[in-house]
Amino acid sequence: METAPTQEQLLQKDKTSSDYYYNSYAHHGIHEEMLKDRVRTLSYQRAIMENKHLFEGKAVLDVGCGTGILSLFASKAGARIVYAVDSSDIIFQAKQIMIDNDHTEKIKCIQAKMEDVELPEKVDVIISEWMGYFLLYETMLPTVLLARDKWLKEGGVLLPDKASIYLAAIEDADYKDEKIKYWDNVYGFDFKCIKEIALREPLVDVVDARAVCSSPCKILTLDLNTCTKADLTFRSNYEIFGKRNDFVHGLLAWFDITFSAGTKQVYFSTAPQCKYTHWKQTVFYLKQPLTLSSADKISGWIDVKPNQKNERDLDITIHVDFEGKYQDIHDTHEFVLR
């Protein structure tokens, strides 16, 4: 049996190597956070266990299996074989977990990048928890789509298979002052050059639902059965409308996920009015606040593409057109989510 490397050995890996991203997922703390996210984990459990007919006697591929919890659900649901693939060294712990839970006959753990994997057969089902912040940050979705095209049987099932991103306006004066305005006066000194950097970095945090002061607008819908990698680079127009008189300090994004295959559909949302998830929400602060009146319209477009230096980061450009009761603003904001 292969011996799992110690945590100290994992930390000694060259942090400049191309494998550093993958081996960052070898640390148990990341998996603890994801496993303890009950919205996330219980949604997958329900989608699998309440649709056992999709798994009974079937071959399943778990892309980016981590500790193997989704593979265990699939095995328990009656899968004939589960191929649990992960490129990080967490695979050693996953193998031990399969041994400790008597699932070694039905779950085969494979350490490899999905692009390099050779399976003995095509599979009936692909499961994966591929979502990142803003849905697409550090996403494994291109890898899932590659696995779909190469290894999923015709008529096979993807879980989950639908995803959408939404945009809305928020009032967030206190937190924006804490994170952005702070740099105007740091112990009596002008640090505004850092303020410019801070404005370009979206904030991932929990947002109070009461801060949302506009209607939402869907800016992206993905069907994993048919979408391509090219669809993950997109430009979308948006229109949102004020729900009350307020100031707008930023735009807020979240995503929804749907498991539509099977007889029991499962859905969850990372919206601020829903239960906490480790994905939280993503805030894009504007250079200057908008004075919003009820029913005022904020419109424009959002452009999302992989960063040229690191394709797991995102370059996000948001154009704002606002002709409100008290002011007109037409401005373009550039962000890097990293």
Q: Among residues 138, 154, 201, 239, which one is catalytic? A: 138
Q: Is 154 a catalytic residue?
A: no
Rounding to the nearest 10 degrees, give the CA dihedral for residues 142, 147, 150, 151.
-160
Q: Among residues 2, 121, 129, 154, which one is catalytic? A: 129
Three-state SS annotation for the chain: CCCCCCHHHHHCCCCCCCCHHHHHCCCHHHHHHHHHCHHHHHHHHHHHHCCHHHCCCCEEEEECCCCCHHHHHHHHCCCCEEEEEECCCHHHHHHHHHHHCCCCCCEEEEECCHHHCCCCCCEEEEEECCCECCECCCCCHHHHHHHHHHHEEEEEEEECCEEEEEEEEECCHHHHHHHCHHHHCECCECCHHHHHHHHHCCEEECCCHHHECECCEEEEEEECCCCCHHHHCEEEEEEEEECCCEEEEEEEEEEEEEECCCCCCEEEECCCCCCCCCCCEEEEEEEEEEEECCCCEEEEEEEEEECCCCCCCEEEEEEEEEECCCCEEEEEEEEEEC
Q: Is 334 a catalytic residue?
A: no
**Catalytic machinery residues:** 129, 138
